[in-house]
Amino acid sequence: MKARGLALQAALAAALALLAWWLYSNAAANLAARGISSGFAFLWREAGFEIGETTFAAYSAADTYLRALAIGLANTFRVAAIGVVLATLLGSLVGLARLAPNWLLARIAAAYVETVRNIPLLVQLFFWYAVITDSLPPPAEALEPLPGVFLTNRGIFFPLPGDVPQLSGFNFSGGAALTPEFAALLIGLTTYTAGFIAEIVRAGILSVPRGQVEAARSLGLGRRAELRHVLLPQALRLMVPPMTSQYLNLTKNSSLAVAIGYPDLVSIANTAMNQTGQAIEGVAVIMAVFLTISLSISAFMNWYNRRSALRGLAA
């Protein structure tokens, strides 16, 4: 019995390998027949295009495609990392608000969840981008809500210690800046994902047996202590697996950045593919990177899941 199972599995693996080899050799032959270059040598060639914003590292048009892709990856990381944190905070607040005894608060939270979950994310991104670029003034008429902080349709400029943004020529220079593309993408991803996270939080809390709440009340715990010491520790275990998939979704959805011009990995890879014509290699890079990111998040969350599960009742 066992031997037959093993043989079947081996045959399946062999068939898959054969199929992969067939697809690969076909692609290689077709590319060669059509005179399309292939291989990854292009990564070390000069990219020749500029990138609007960079995270951590500098970049110029004289750098290589490899560096351009790395800049894109860093930009993806930046928006995904900040997005995950903000979406978790906002989602938890909204989730708790939906369960609040205050009728109005619960209704507002419910309306929020239904709105963001039922409008396609791409449309929401266009909306936020339009809000920022159409409603904020040009640099020359910038709003200054706080000294040194400027709101413009070129982005939001903050002062750094000893480095205050100044209007020079076409735009502000100096200080730190949040571009409209980054801001729109971050707001869009955060508010959208928070809608789903809110429901996960609500479901997690509601799944804790009613008796636990009654026990907490009969011990004389306040609402806050009840949440912190009784409800959340039990709810958290149930929330971790669905949260993982929301984090993965947020990271993958960040590739919609192309539509509003945020230079994330997909946007840079698309440009590279177009300049070099090497679409297969470009898409392979994108897939490998997203697979790595997603598997890493998954691995971390699984570890966290095991850890939090052990502390629970099931242990």
Partner 1 sequence: MRIPLAVAAFASLLATSAALAQSTLEAVQKKGFVQCGVNVGLAGFSQPDSQGVWKGIDVDLCRAVAAAVFGDAGKVRFTPLTAQQRFTALQSGEIDILSRNTTWTITRDTSLGLNFVGVNYYDGQGFMVPAKKKVKSARQLNGATVCVQPGTTTELNLADYFRTHNMKFKPVVIEKLEEVLNAYFSGRCDVYTTDVSGLVAVRASRAPKPAEHVILPEVISKEPLGPAVRHGDDRWFDVVKWSLFAMIEAEELGLGSKNIEQQAGSPNPSIQRFVGASGDIGKMLGLDNRWAVNIVKQVGNYGESFDANLKPLGFERGLNRLWTQGGLMYAPPVR
Residues that bind partner 1 (CB under 8 A): 23, 26-27, 29-31, 33-37, 48-53, 61-62, 126, 130, 133-134, 138, 153-154, 168-171, 173, 180-181, 258-261, 263, 267, 270-271, 273-277, 279-280, 283
Looking at the Cβ atoms of 41 and 85, the one nearer to partner 1 is 41
Minimum Å gap between C-beta 22 and partner 1 is: 9
Looking at the Cβ atoms of 120 and 312, the one nearer to partner 1 is 120
Looking at the Cβ atoms of 248 and 266, the one nearer to partner 1 is 266
Looking at the Cβ atoms of 283 and 309, the one nearer to partner 1 is 283
262 within 8 A of 79, measured Cβ to Cβ: yes
Looking at the Cβ atoms of 244 and 253, the one nearer to partner 1 is 253
**Which H helix or E strand runs over 178?**
strand 176-178
CA distance 152 to 143: 7
Least Cα distance to 308 among 256, 235, 254 occurs for 235
**CA dihedral sign, ordered 149, 151, 152, 158:** positive
Minimum Å gap between C-beta 148 and partner 1 is: 20
Minimum Å gap between C-beta 169 and partner 1 is: 4
198 within 8 A of 91, measured Cβ to Cβ: yes
101 within 8 A of 213, measured Cβ to Cβ: no
Minimum Å gap between C-beta 109 and partner 1 is: 32
Minimum Å gap between C-beta 180 and partner 1 is: 6
Looking at the Cβ atoms of 49 and 56, the one nearer to partner 1 is 49
Least Cα distance to 105 among 118, 114, 96 occurs for 96
Minimum Å gap between C-beta 293 and partner 1 is: 18
CA distance 205 to 227: 9
Looking at the Cβ atoms of 191 and 270, the one nearer to partner 1 is 270
**Which H helix or E strand runs over 91?**
helix 65-98
Torsion, Cα of 102, 103, 107, 109 (10° steps): 10
Residue 276: C-alpha distances to residues 41, 46, 79, 122 (Å): 11, 11, 27, 28
Minimum Å gap between C-beta 77 and partner 1 is: 19
